[in-house]
A and B are shown apart, each in its own frame.
Chain A
Amino acid sequence: MKILVCIKQVPDMESKFKLNGEGNWYDGTDLAWRMNEYDEYAVEQAVQLKDQLGDADLTVLSIGPERVKEMMKKALAMGCDRGAHIADDDFFKKDPFEIASVVAEFAKDKGFDLIFTGMQSQDRGSGQVGVLVAEMLGLPSITTIVDFAFDNGQITAKRELEGGMKAIVKTRTPALMTCQLGLNTPRYPTLPNIMKAKKKELLSIPVSELLKVEAKQETAKMYFPEKKGGGLVLEGSVGDLVDQLIKILKDKTAVLA
C-alpha cells in the first residue's frame, strides 16, 4: 500500500500580521511557523493506517521554501517514511489550482493507493487543493472526514455536515480523503522517533520540474478589515478590569439584576 500525505506550513494565527511591501500578502519575517492543523490529522490518519496494515509506504509532501523542511521532519518523526519537498520560494503566489497541479504531477505515475490532505489551510482556507488533486488524477474523493475505516480496499468514512450531523460514505482505493478537525488525536513525536526521522529520506525537487499550468486567480490587494461596531477594548490590571466589566454588565445588560 502506498500512501501520500500533503501538508502545508502556515503562520501561527496568534501572530501580529503585517503586510508585505507590495500589499498583496503578509510579511513573512518575524512569524512563527507550524504545520497546518488540519494536516496534522491527515498525517496521523496515514500513520494509523500504516500501523493497521503493518506494511505501507508513506510519503509526505510539502510545497514551500526551505523552512517547510522543519515541519516535514515532524511528520517523519510522527511516522511517515519519506519526504518530498517541492522547493518553491514563491509558493504563496500560487493559486490552489497551481498547487494541486504540482501535487498531481508528482503523484501521477507513482501509484498511490490513498492520498490524505487537510480539508483546508488555516491561512487561506480555500478548501480546494485536495478535491482538485483527486479530480486531476481521476480518483474518487471524500471531503471533511471525521471518521475513517479501511478494510481490504474498502473505505468507510463519515463526512461532517452542518450542525454536527454526519453522512456515511463508502468508496474503494485508490482514493483521496480531506481531513477535518477532530478526526483522530495527532500523536506527539517521541525523542527516539525524532532521532530516527533525521535519517529518513527528504528529497528536494525544484517546483519548475512539476509546474506546467498557470494561475487562474490573483490577489488584487490584501488589507486589514475595518473594525466595525466599535466595541470597547479594556486593558489594565486584573482588579481594575474586573470592576470595569461588572459596571458595564450592570449598565448594559440585565443579567446582574
Chain B
Amino acid sequence: MKTLLVAEYRDGKVLNSTYELVAFAEKLGADSAMFLVGSDSTLPAYTGTLYLADVGKYSEFNPAVHKQLLLDVIAREQPDMVVFAHSSYGWDLAPRISLALNAAHISEVVDIVDGVPIVPVCNAKLRRAVKAKTAQMVLSLQGGAFGLENEPSGSPTVIPIDTDTAAQVEFCGYEEAEAGGVDLSKAGVIVSAGRGIGKPENLAMVEALAKALKGEYGASRPVVDSNWADHGRQVGTTGQTVSPKLYVACGISGAIQHLAGMKKSEFIVAINTDKDAPIGEVADVLVVTDLKEFVPALTEKLKNL
C-alpha cells in the first residue's frame, strides 16, 4: 500500500494536521510520500520523500495551480491513496483531485476498520462504512481522528516541483479572527450556550450559571452567527480550543466541529432534551432535561450553597 500525504501550510508554517496524515499512514502500515506547497526554510518533521513546490511562487491558496502540481506528483508516484486533512485546504482541493483521477473521494474519515473507511452521518449520530469502487482512492481525514503517538521527527528528502498552470482565483491575504474580550482558554469553568437556548434573552441564564460557578460563558457557532454572543466566545474549530476543569454544554448537540474545541476538558456536563445527542459521547454526565427550567434552578441552588 502506497499513500501520498498532502501536507498543509498556512501563514508561513506547516500545520499540525500534516502529522495526523503521517499517523494515519503509520496506522495502516503503508508507505508514504509527501506533497507540500511550502518553503525549504520550514520543512515538516518527516522521514521520506517530500515533493516541494515553492509557496512564494504558487501562493498558499491557489486551487487550480496546487491541483496541477499535485496531479504531476500523483502521476510520478502512482499512490493507492491520496490523503488530505478534511480542513479548509483539504475539502477545497480533494474533490478537484478525485475528479481528475476518476477516483472515489471519501471525506470526513474518522476511522479505518478492516481497510474500509468509516464516516459519520447525521451529526455523528450514525456511522457509515464506505467502500470505494475505484482502485485509487482519495481520502480526507477528520481532524483529531488519527492522533499522534510520538512527537513528529525526521527530515525529508526534498524533490522540488514546478508547473506553469494559470491561476483561476487570486488570493489577496488573510484577515485575522476578530479579537474577543475574553481568553476562554484561561477559564477554569466554562458554561456554553447552544442553539437549544431558543432565544437571545435566554443567554442571561447561561451567563448567570457561569457566574455562580466562577467561570466564563462560551457559545456554539449558531449562537455567534445569530449575533447573540461575540465571536470571542465561540468554542470549536473556527473559534477557541479550551480545556477547563469543568465544561457545561447547555443545548449543544455536539457536532464534530464543536467537540474539537472542548473534548479535552477535564469534566464535561451536558444539558440536553435529546438523550441521543452526540454530545453524550464525550460527556461525563448528560442531564436529559429542558435547560430553561434546569439552568436557573441549578444556579439558585449553587448560590445558596
Contact = CB atoms under 8 A, between A and B. Distances in A.
B107 A220 contact: no
A162 B169 CA distance: 20
B211 to A, nearest CB: 13
A149 interface: no
Given A164-B231, A166-B175, A246-B305, A128 B107 contact: yes
A217 B131 contact: yes
Given A142-B169, A164-B239, A181-B221, A126 B175 contact: no
A246 B294 contact: no
Contacts of A17: 122, 125-126, 276
A135 B87 contact: no
A163 B280 CA distance: 24
Interface in A127-142: 127-128, 131-132, 135-136, 140-142
A104 B152 CA distance: 42
Contacts, number: 255
Contacts of B44: none
B185 to A, nearest CB: 12
A50 B267 CA distance: 49
Nearest to B226: A185
Interface stretch (B28-36, B46-54, B98-106, B157-165): B98-106
B285 A231 contact: yes
B297 A239 contact: yes
A138 to B, nearest CB: 9
Given A17-B122, A160-B238, A166 B131 contact: no
A209 interface: no
Nearest to A168: B172
Contacts of B277: 14
A120 B94 CA distance: 14
Nearest to B284: A231
Given A16-B276, A234-B286, A168 B173 contact: yes
A6 to B, nearest CB: 14
B54 to A, nearest CB: 19
Given A216-B133, A218-B131, A231 B286 contact: yes
B168 A171 contact: yes
Nearest to A248: B285
Interface residues of B, number: 95
A164 B125 contact: no
B123 A182 contact: no
Interface in B158-216: 168-178, 188-189, 213-215
Nearest to B276: A16
A123 interface: yes
A191 interface: no
A13 interface: yes
A31 to B, nearest CB: 10
Interface string B51-68: 000000000110110000
B199 to A, nearest CB: 15
Nearest to B176: A165
B238 to A, nearest CB: 5
Interface string B267-305: 111000011110011111111110001100110011001
A252 interface: yes
Given A217-B131, A223-B127, A182 B95 contact: no
Contacts of B123: 13, 122
B39 to A, nearest CB: 18
Interface string B231-243: 1001001110000
Contacts of A119: 91
Nearest to B288: A235
B214 to A, nearest CB: 8
Contacts of A181: 221-222, 225
B20 interface: no
B95 to A, nearest CB: 4
Contacts of B213: 255
A11 B126 CA distance: 13
B275 A241 contact: no
B266 A233 contact: no
B96 interface: yes
26 contacts: A11-B122, A13-B125, A97-B105, A126-B106, A128-B94, A128-B105, A140-B63, A140-B64, A142-B169, A159-B88, A162-B238, A163-B177, A164-B178, A165-B175, A166-B174, A167-B174, A216-B134, A218-B133, A219-B130, A220-B130, A221-B129, A222-B121, A227-B281, A231-B283, A234-B285, A255-B214
Given A124-B119, A156-B172, A159-B61, 20 more contacts: A26-B126, A125-B120, A131-B96, A132-B99, A140-B168, A144-B92, A158-B175, A163-B239, A166-B175, A167-B171, A169-B61, A181-B225, A182-B225, A214-B133, A219-B131, A231-B284, A241-B294, A242-B294, A253-B245, A255-B246
Interface of A: 11, 13-14, 16-17, 19, 26, 95-97, 119-120, 122-128, 131-132, 135-136, 140-144, 156, 158-171, 181-182, 185, 214-225, 227-229, 231-235, 238-239, 241-243, 245-246, 248-249, 252-256
What are the 4 A-B residue pairs with the smallest beta carbon separation, nearest first? A164-B177, A182-B225, A140-B168, A216-B104
